Amino acid sequence: MAACFLHTADWQLGKPFARIADVGKRARVQQERMEVLDRLGEVARQGGAQFMVVAGDLFDSPRATKATVAAACSALGRMGMPVLAIPGNHDHGGPGSLWEQDFFRRECAALAPQFRLLLKAEPVELEEAVLFPCPLLRRAESIDPTAWLRDPAVSAGVAPGKARILLGHGSVQGFGGEGDEEEAAVGGNRLDLERLPAGAFDYMALGDWHGTKEISPRAWYAGTPEPDRFPRGAGNEPGHALLVKATRGGLPEVVRVATARLRWQAMEWHFTEDSAVGALEQAVGSWMGQRADLDLLRLELRGSLGMVAGAALQQALESWEARLLRLKLSDQTTAAPSAEELEALTQRPGDPLISRVARQLAEQAGGTGEEAEVARLALRELYALAVVS
């Protein structure tokens, strides 16, 4: 008997994205995490999935707001199929968790009757498969949540003809728990899959690592379906869900499906000449195109620019900041006016005051440290006022 299902994880609904200063843009990013759920449902239905599993962190916090809970339950109900989830480190199932709240239970019963939260480490038999959930009942478990499955007797007599699917949330072989700038890293929650009985499980659906990643032919991280942070090295591929077809004793068929709408990009640029500003504009433009309010960019700038080129860069940055949902900028460029630019400021017979101030600033700008950098920036502003305008 084959089981076809969608494996997803790390929705983290209600994530605050506090580093996005613009309130409207922050709300846009938060809403996209909710809207991706409808895309997950569409992927599951088109792929012939019989059910969906969420390998932890459905919510970003065990204290999600009522509005977030209601919207999530509504989206779960629209899936049109059974959805089974375990709590992760963000929405752990310990005492006082949102899963115990009357409001969640009422909304779930009214809007998402096919949703099922698995809070106990015990087999759950479905028509097509048997699930072996490893829920987190606290944020950081010191004991391996999969330890209960090391005893071969646990799974030996359970529905021998059905695919066996493990649900886990945590770190495997150094992967997992990739905390970002908005959250502190959490220890614990180590999943030692190598200590499980050989061949006991046909597929291991994992959560916590936000990129899609194959650990072994039978063990995968689904990753978050909508990216929530800037790229972190090669091989980190968020923005997917996994369509899985598993049979008892066979290797699973796993197909990754893109689900993301927002794009998070990181770029580094070193200016060696003034014309490089145009090259940067072309690079950003070819990536962003005509899009607006759909991209987030981390941009690191180094090198030196003349005053005209520096002014052109500032105009480009102003435009990108308006069009992007977030521009995380590290601008370490220095102002290095050309000889022609300095002459245009310091040799002005009709403006002796400007000439005198420019000469003083040029002298200060030749030094090092914060005072020299302030002088270089002042030269740039003075050039824009006295020459460009």
Measured between alpha carbons, how far is 147 from 143 in angstroms, rounded to an integer?
Answer: 8
The per-residue pLDDT for range 142-174, each reduced to its tens digit, is: 899 999 999 988 887 788 899 999 999 999 876
Same domain, 123 and 221: yes
Please tell me the total count of domains within the chain.
Answer: 2
Which residue, 213, 243, 258, sits at the end of a domain?
258
Query: What mean pLDDT comes out for the span 299-327?
Result: 93
Same domain, 363 and 214: no
What DSSP state is assigned to residue 147? G
CATH code, 217: 3.60.21.10
Question: What percent of the chain lies above the pLDDT cut of 70?
Answer: 96
Same domain, 228 and 315: no
Q: Specify the higher pLDDT residue, 175 or 103.
A: 103
Given the DSSP bridges, would you call strands 2-8 and 240-247 parallel, antiparallel or unpaired? antiparallel
Same domain, 117 and 172: yes
User: Confidence class of residue 177 from pLDDT cuts 50, 70 and 90?
Assistant: low
Measured between alpha carbons, how far is 356 from 389 in angstroms, rounded to an integer?
Answer: 19
Which residue, 223, 240, 258, sits at the end of a domain?
258
Same domain, 157 and 24: yes
Same domain, 212 and 70: yes
Query: What mean pLDDT comes out for the span 338-358?
Result: 78
Instruction: Output the pLDDT for position 335.
Output: 77
pLDDT of 185 higher than 60 = no
Instruction: Output the pLDDT for position 359.
Output: 84
> DSSP strand E in the chain: where?
2-8, 51-55, 83-86, 115-117, 124-125, 129-133, 163-169, 203-207, 213-216, 219-221, 240-247, 253-258, 263-271, 295-305, 326-331, 334-335
pLDDT of 184 higher than 50 = no
The pair of three-digit structure tokens given for residue 257, joined into one six-digit string: 């499906």
Note down the domain range covering 140: 2-258
Given the DSSP bridges, would you call strands 240-247 and 219-221 parallel, antiparallel or unpaired? unpaired
Query: What mean pLDDT comes out for the span 294-321?
Result: 93
Same domain, 68 and 131: yes
Tell me if the pTM is above 0.95: no
Instruction: Output the pLDDT for position 45.
Output: 98
User: Confidence class of residue 320 from pLDDT cuts 50, 70 and 90?
Assistant: very high
- Average pLDDT over the chain reads 91
The per-residue pLDDT for range 105-147, each reduced to its tens digit, is: 999 999 999 999 999 999 999 999 999 999 999 999 989 999 9
Same domain, 126 and 59: yes
User: Confidence class of residue 273 from pLDDT cuts 50, 70 and 90?
Assistant: very high
